[in-house]
Structure 1
Amino acid sequence: MRVNEHAAARTADAGETTGALARKLGVSPTTLRSWDRRYGIGPALRTDGRHRRWTPEDVAMLQEMCRFTAAGLPPAEAARAAKERARGRTLSPALALARPAAGPRVPKSAPAPALPPGAPVSRSGTGLPLGDVRQECRGLARAAVRLDAAAVQSLLTAAVETHGLATAWTEVMVPTLRAVGRKWESSGDRYVEVEHLLSWHVSATLRHLYVRATQEPPTGVPPVLLACLPGEPHTLPLEALGAVLTERGVPALMLGGSVPAEALAAAVRRVGPSAVVLWSQSRSTANPPLARHVAGTRWGVRGARTRSLVLLSGPGWAGDPEPGLLRPRRLDDALRMLGAPEH
């Protein structure tokens, strides 16, 4: 139905342009036009028959479309589900599972539909250099770009429940985090908020799993001590290692980022850990003398004193490790060295 010029002007003032809406949702304008043409997911009114202006109702339906596609539904099915939600209809159980859970909590719920493991996807629609990655990475990246916290948390939870924590970290979380980081570095101050949002929710997911697993730790088993070196604030890789260790029944004690040398040495003497993992993200924080000191620290009762295994983790450590020190290159390397292989 055509509208008169006065109504069209009001629509233009109130609605969003296709370009602005595409940036908001984290998809390309071409994708929005394609959805309109193929599936009827388009603006209800147009100013002159050509220029699209998207009303709040249109935007809400598109947000549903994005959430369903991010959960792995084919576009045609996602469009039908979005329209049904807009009309207030009840979705089928299969489609209802694709709806992200509300809020940033990490509930134990059914996983969202996903493509077969290892299915490659394109990077179109996110603006991020994802490359050849799992299907879940594209949905997670899109949700992060449009700052959809509920969808980000739901997709992270689904990835953990579908693939297990170790695989979810290495094949879903890390590739998406790296893509956001590369985009941030190449575009000035843009995408900083995306990186912060995604990192926060990844950390929230890992910490939730770590805390849940440490509520009933094994008794009589010395923990693995996890610490970032002095001046090193990046904790996510250690958080992932700690969560996987506790999930597999190996107690872990996380000290966090930028642990002072004196505090680290004191913790080793007090706790008597089975191993100490020292994380360094950059060469500026790698500290071989401190690592040697930790490796040489003896603890325990007199006559039965022992030492902790020391792992140098992270890209900050250059060259081969010194005798008595281990250098895991990947998460599975560290898990094997710490006696926590996959069951």
Structure 2
Amino acid sequence: MAVLDEPEATADAAGLTTGAVARRLGVSPTTLRSWDRRYGLGPAVRAEGRHRRWSPADIAMVEDMCRLTSAGAPPAEAARVARLRHHPTTPTTDPASPRASAPPAPPRADGDVDGEAEDAADPGATDPRPEPGPRPPARRGGAGGGLPLGGDVRQECRGLARAAVRLDAPELEQRLLDAVDRHGLVVAWEEVMVPTLRAVGRKWESSGDRYVEVEHLLSWHISSTLRGVPFLFPRRDPVTGAAPVVLACTPGEQHSLPLEVLTAALAERGLPTRTLGAAVPTEALLACVRRTGPAAVVLWAQTRSTASLPLARHVAGLEWGAAGARRRPTVLPAGPGWDRRASAGFPRCSGLREAVDTLGRLCEDGARPPARGH
């Protein structure tokens, strides 16, 4: 057996061919070549004659790509995460960037060097993005790009605001990821993302509809960053036996971004969640609570008109489980729509960190058997 393994061991030292890497990962060579062309997930160095030789670092990158896509991540998002993990200085591409208008790169001349021809169409690679390349330096505007940030914000807010006003999607993406990486999710949200979002909102209100596109682009990239946090940054081991947290906007409430950051922050702690998003109908919310038996239910309301005390009380009154050991969820009203009167009798949290701590305790308590007689 050692004699049979010797050629592959020698190839490992010099770098594996695309065919060998494909066999190792259980994918087709065509898929690997497509990932290389479309996402830049290819060998960093090529041997003479343009033959591809995959180093251990190159293989680790596509292994991450396989793992993330198997977990349900979209191919373009999985490729971005894999590149950032293994080549953090490589610029990313985005459909809104100038390079996205260029035609896709033609097939390379070495398409058949591994003995397998390119397929006419690859069902595993449908994203038409070009492979990544250097971007021109971002243009620098005034402090905050003209947005009313004020003088007591982090410097990252000003860079983020300038990128938003320029509609520079790749710069937005990188700055948001840098903020989470440098400060952690909670600080990045409370001290970088939220002040910038508020500044855009103030500019929008004072300028008619001129800055709608800025607010929408910034919100979209913040949402994308939050959804990528579990893939990009290590999470704690799941809390064994913990009941989930249900997160939902009240009926008629469309502002779901705060629920997304809370979902990501809970995922960092290994806590299970069921996030329903914006404008959840009452019956759908009640059905979810009955079917999942959550430790807590977070009800988000941005305005007083969407905060419903009867709904909160109704959810808090739901019961499940065997007689003598029935459970009820703890309802956590969240958002500026809940004033003290509207949330009377319910726990209140002053910010993201406190909400995560409170929900963490509830989940851990819910993982323990209920005390006899409770």
TM range (shorter): 0.5 to 0.7
Residue in structure 1 matching 2:212, options 192, 196, 203: 192
State the Cα deviation string for residues 97-136 of structure 1 (Å, max 9, x = none).
77753338xxxxxxxxxxxxxxxxx973511011120011
Q: Which amino acid in the other structure matches residue 244 of structure 1? A: A
Q: Is this contact kept in 1: 2:246–2:274, CA < 8 A?
A: yes
CA distance, structure 1, for counterparts of residue 327 and residue 88 of structure 2: 52
The answer as to 2:298 corresponding to 1:307 is: no
Partner of 1:260: 281
**Amino acid corresponding to residue 340 of structure 2 in structure 1:** G
* Aligned residue number for residue 201 of structure 1: 221
Where does residue 294 of structure 1 map in the other structure? 315
Does structure 1 residue 102 correspond to structure 2 residue 123?
no
Among residues 190, 196, 202, which one is paired with 1:182 in the alignment? 202
How many residue pairs match? The answer is: 229
C-alpha distance in structure 2 between counterparts of 1:315 and 1:196, whole Å = 21
CA distance in 2, matches of 1:322, 1:192: 32
Counterpart position of 1:271? 292
Identical positions, percent: 62
Distance 2:341 2:155 in 1: 36
Q: Is the 8 A contact 2:247 2:273 kept in 1?
A: yes
Q: 1:340 to 1:187 in 2, by over 3 A?
A: farther
Query: Given the alignment, which residue of 229, 232, 244 partners 2:265?
Result: 244
Q: Structure 1 residues 287, 328: closer, same or farther in 2, change over 3 A?
A: same
Distance in 2, Cα, partners of 1:194 & 1:332: 28
> Structure 1 residues 176 and 340, CA, compared in 2 at 3 Å: closer, same or farther?
farther
Give yes or no for contact 2:144–2:161 (8 Å, CA) kept in 1: no
Q: Spell out structure 1 runs of 4+ moving beyond 6 A.
A: 96-99, 211-216
Task: Tell me by how many angstroms 1:149 deviates.
Answer: 0.3
**Aligned positions of 1:61-80 closer than 5 A:** none
What's the offset of the Cα at 1:321?
Answer: 5.7
Residue 327 of structure 1: how far off its partner (Å): 1.6
Aligned match of 2:156:
136
Match of 1:233, SS state, is coil
- 2: distance between equivalents of 1:261 and 1:124? 45
Q: How far has the Cα of 1:143 moved from its partner? A: 0.4
| Equivalent residues of 2:244, 2:273 under 8 A apart | yes
Q: Within 2, Cα distance between the matches of 1:258 and 1:214?
A: 29
Aligned runs of 1:1-343 on 2, under 5 Å? 100-103=91-94, 124=143, 126-131=145-150, 132-210=152-230, 217-320=238-341, 324-339=345-360
Q: Match of 1:102, as an amino acid? A: T
Structure 1 CA distance for aligned equivalents of residues 159 and 262 of structure 2: 24
Matched position secondary structure for 1:334: helix
Q: Distance in 1 between matches of 2:197 and 2:341?
A: 27
SS of alignment partner, residue 133 of structure 1: coil
Quote the Cα distance in structure 2 between the aligned partners of 1:125 and 1:325: 39
CA RMSD between the two structures: 2.6
> In structure 1, what is the Cα distance between the partners aligned to 2:231 and 2:320?
27
- For 2:143, the aligned partner's letter is S
Partners of 2:236 and 2:270 within 8 A in 1: no
The alpha-carbon distance between structure 1 residues 214 and 290, as it changes in their structure 2 partners (threshold 3 A), is farther
> 3-state DSSP class of the match of 1:306?
coil
Moved more, 296-305 or 255-264: 296-305
2:336 maps to amino acid: P
Residue 329 of structure 1 deviates from its aligned partner by 2.2
C-alpha displacement of 1:141 = 0.4
What's the CA shift for 1:326? 1.2
Question: Does the Cα contact within 8 Å between 1:229 and 1:259 map onto a contact in 2?
Answer: yes
8 Å CA contact 2:237–2:270 kept in 1: the answer is no
**Cα pair 1:245 1:340 within 8 Å, conserved:** no
What 5-or-longer segments of structure 2 have no aligned partner? 1-86, 96-140, 363-374
